[in-house]
Amino acid sequence: MPLNAYYSAEISTFIAENNEGILGRLATNSTFSVETAQRNAWVEQIEVLKHALKSFSGWVLMEFIVPRIGSRIDVVLLIDSIVFVVEFKVGEERINRGDLNQVWDYALDLKNFHRGSHGAQIIPILVATNFPGSDSSIGNPYRDDVFPPVRCNAFSLDQIIRKAVEKSSGISIDPVKWIEAPYLPTPTIIEAAQVLYSQHSVDAIARHDAGARNLKITSQRIDVLVERARSEGRKVIIFVTGVPGAGKTLVGLNVATKKRDPKQPAHAVFLSGNGPLVAVLREALTRDEVGRLRNRSDKTRKGEVAQKVKAFIQNVHHFRDDGLRGDEPPADHVVIFDEAQRAWNQEMTSSFMRTKKGRSDFDQSEPEFLISYLDRHDDWAVVICLVGGGQEINRGEAGISAWFEAIKNKFPAWDVHVSPDITESEYAAGHALESLAGRANVFRDDALHLAVSMRSFRAENVSTFVKAVLDCDSDKASRILASNLSNYPIALTRDLVVAKQWIRDRARGSERFGMVASSGALRLKPHAIDVRVNINPVHWFLNDSDDTRSSYYMEDAATEFQVQGLELDWVCMTWDADLRYDKNGWLHHSFVGSKWTSVKKEDRRQYLRNAYRVLLTRARQGMVIFVPSGDEGDRTRLSSYYDSTFSYLEAIGIPVIS
């Protein structure tokens, strides 16, 4: 059997084995040094389990490894048709919400990502050994057969297990098959970054579906190209494409973490022009690293950790500014640009340089300057561009064509390795790639495209569905909704209170949820949604449910600028009159002064549609869409501004709730 737990055995073997033997196996297989406190906790857990399991048959697994969140479940019990997920709080008299969420999260993780658990009943149990009471009954399971957490103490665990087994009616679990079943995780970008930064490989958190081009294949291909560039002294630019949520950022972080040691010849840095993403990832990595250090009694200050993280993930504009200070090449030979299509065009860059930097002579686009900065290296350099489709949401974003134009006009010696899918319309490469067609050093590589969305682990077709909705292809959207999104709930309502309750009723454990809105949704204010409030994305994405600044409160709506590149489990999507459906297509509006005005320029229309594309693809597990009813007494919120959009979404087949 593969070792995915520090200790595993049949219950009968476990009970017969002496405690020292069990402790020895736990300590031998541990990936950390076993302190006295941990050893004592294991001793008490073993004694509680032996008392509770003496009349049952099945399997015991202790310290079961959960790769996606870089953690371990204290105990997993396989008894009859039930997977018991047991978390111990040794010596504790009280039970808090965080502890319950922890064991619930473990149960949900197994249900969602461990194939052997997909058809099983899963009961999470929190054992606070000195808790004065115990739950007298087991609640009803959710639709996916995961039960709400059960609370008990050291003396009542056997009673909980007995009650559950007496009620079970499923097929008994084969423990060998269960243990050997594949684990197919889809981590959030924050979880992935934390696991990678803590020195784990992408293999630990990437899916291994045989039918999909996965992250491992793309990451390995990039590794080969980087090593070849270094050994042969070449300069290379690599373009990686992928559908929304496919893991492009994860691929970049994987490369950067493996090459983050500044002493390495292939030292890499991860760059993004997405300020909120940079801020959230930096803080998440800092908090996680500080927590690990404190668990090892390391008193390194948070500020010191933050400085190291800051050097690892940088804002692309700050990196660019470093290149303006002199003629030296950057310290890095490998540079990863996230959302490369959002780099600034020549007009935007030149305008910024004139007004902010006093550089009236600057006449380069951001892609051209960034390549030129790396080109200062005498020996070798690699630029990795992570390219999303339909993600340009702001004025001055060049699209990927600016990179090809810079290569064609200024850097003919650079090798170009490109995903063949970059010619698809959503990547807006135009005819720029065609101009490189005759060059011998342009290589198309299938391994550089990520075709399957990883964000929506319940359904891989959400991005295709959203594209059909925004393309006004209602027939295609209806087909996808009916046939491919059965495990991804989507609801439609005209009542914001109902929408929020729909989200709260479905979120479990610490699953994160929140409310989003377009930055142009200025007439949602009567619903207490003011997009002009500048939320702090760090608090919104990372803080706990007891913090009013967090997404959980659903008081502040994040816009496309704050959520792009990040994700939630559940989303309350609020739809204003800036984008309205009409029988001839979408109508695009901007609220100026005291009225809506029609948007005439095609690039601004595209930005608005892309804003909704970003918002509609943020949820991993499901979303509810709120379309206001309007108010005939308010000329800025007439019912006609909203009714056609609601009717269009309803006609597609999205269930209406009230």
- For the chain, the structural domain boundaries read 5-180, 189-450, 462-652
d(CA 151, CA 137) in angstroms, rounded, equals: 10
Please give the residue that has the higher pLDDT: either 624 or 404.
Answer: 624
Torsional sign, CA 402, 406, 409, 413: negative
Q: Alpha carbon 475 to chain centroid distance? A: 30
d(CA 141, CA 148) in angstroms, rounded, equals: 7
Which of 336-345, 365-374, 472-481 is the most confident on average? 472-481
d(CA 121, CA 146) in angstroms, rounded, equals: 6
Q: Is the pLDDT of residue 424 over 70?
A: no
Region 518-539: what's the mean pLDDT? 96
Contact residues for 24 (Cβ-Cβ < 8 A; gap 6+) = none
pLDDT band at 211; cut points 50, 70, 90: very low
112 φ/ψ angles, rounded to the nearest 5 degrees? -80, -35
Instruction: From 550, 31, 115, 536, select the one nearest 295 (Cα to Cα).
Output: 31
Q: Is the pLDDT of residue 3 over 70?
A: no
Q: Which of 131-135, 230-234, 400-404, 565-569 has the lowest mean pLDDT?
A: 400-404
8 A C-beta contact, residue 619 and residue 571: yes
d(CA 76, CA 112) in angstroms, rounded, equals: 16
8 A C-beta contact, residue 383 and residue 255: no
**CATH architecture, domain 189-450:** 3-Layer(aba) Sandwich (3.40)
| DSSP code for 205 | T
Q: Which amino acid, residue 112?
A: N
pLDDT band at 400; cut points 50, 70, 90: confident
8 A C-beta contact, residue 539 and residue 281: no
The upper half-sphere exposure of residue 47, i.e. CA atoms within 13 Å in the direction of its Cβ, equals 11
d(CA 530, CA 608) in angstroms, rounded, equals: 18
The pLDDT score that the predictor gives to residue 208 is 43
pLDDT band at 298; cut points 50, 70, 90: confident
Q: Is the pLDDT of residue 210 over 50?
A: no
Q: What is the pTM of this model?
A: 0.85
DSSP per residue, 399-456: -THHHHHHHHHH-TTSEEEE-GGGGSGGG--TTTGGGGTT-TTEEE-GGGEE-S-SS-
Instruction: From 420, 446, 430, select the one nearest 398 (Cα to Cα).
Output: 430
